Structure 1
Amino acid sequence: MAKCDEGYLCEVCGHEVDHIVESDLYLRYILGLVDPEVLHIASERHLHCNPTFAQYIVHAEFPPVTVEGDFDKRRLDADFVASREQEITAGYTRLLEVAATDTPILEMRINRKT
């Protein structure tokens, strides 16, 4: 099978990332952490395959993720954790909105205050 026929494979587990709501890549894109020019060549992961990032999603549609060790959010500064949870959960909420519509890729990102 040609690479272009495989879809997006998770660099961690090797399985296909079937839906945008499972996509670490598209969540990072929505948050402005991935440039649109590299979106098609950037590495993909399932959100649950990137637990240090996914632990900050606090949403009824997303099962909680717990991380053990130094990057466990329970061991980090409470203000930092609250800020990350707000930012990443807002991105996940936007990801759900995008999945439910035909939003053009350049309009997917969250509008950030500058």
Structure 2
Amino acid sequence: MARCDQGYLCEVCGREVPNITQSDLYLRFVIGEIDGRQLLAAPERHLRCNPTLSQFIVADKFEPVTVEGPFAKEFLDSEDVCRREEVVTRGWRRLQELQTLRIPIHQYPLPEFQRERPGEPK
């Protein structure tokens, strides 16, 4: 299979990230942590290979991830944890939808993280 036909390799475990629903990179894009230009240069990881982010996904169809140590959400400010869980969980749900939506990549992010593109109507 040609490289362009494969998913990117996870920088943590070295295995292929087969689709967007398991992508830490695309989740970070959807929730506004990185912009579209960084999609080509930022490292890819499986969601589970980045537990400090995936611990904030709270959904029935996502097996919870536990982090030990100072970055565990149990040691963070409870209001910040609630806000982070809300955004990251909505981002994860958006990833699940994106697999079937036929929209341009600049529309992938959650509405509050979409950036205006020059020349497009507001």
TM-score, with normalisation over the residues of structure 1? 0.90
Give the deviation of 1:103 after TM superposition: 2.3
Q: What letter matches 1:94 in structure 2? A: R
Q: Identity, % of aligned pairs?
A: 50
**1:27, 1:87 → 2: CA distance?**
10
- Distance (Å, rounded) in 2 between the aligned partners of 1:4 and 1:95: 21
Number of residues paired by the alignment?
113
Taking structure 2 as the reference length, what is the TM-score of the superposition? 0.84
Q: How far did residue 5 of structure 1 move?
A: 5.6
Q: After superposition, give the CA deviation of every residue in 1:2-43 in whole Å (9 maximum; x if it has no partner).
A: 754653000000000001110000000111111112212221
Instruction: Find runs of 4+ consecutive structure 1 residues off by over 2 angstroms.
Output: 1-7
Q: How far, CA to CA, are the matches of 1:6 and 1:26 in structure 2?
A: 16
CA distance 1:30–1:70, change in 2 (3 Å): same
**How far off its partner does 1:92 sit?**
0.7
Per the alignment, residue 55 of structure 2 pairs with: 55
Unaligned stretches of 5+ residues in structure 1: none
Residue-by-residue CA offset, 1:53-111 (whole Å, 9 max, x unaligned): 00000011211000011111112111111010011111111111112222221111111
Q: What is the RMSD computed on CA atoms of the aligned residues?
A: 1.7
1:104 aligned partner: 104
Larger radius of gyration: 2
Gap regions ≥5 residues in structure 2: 114-122
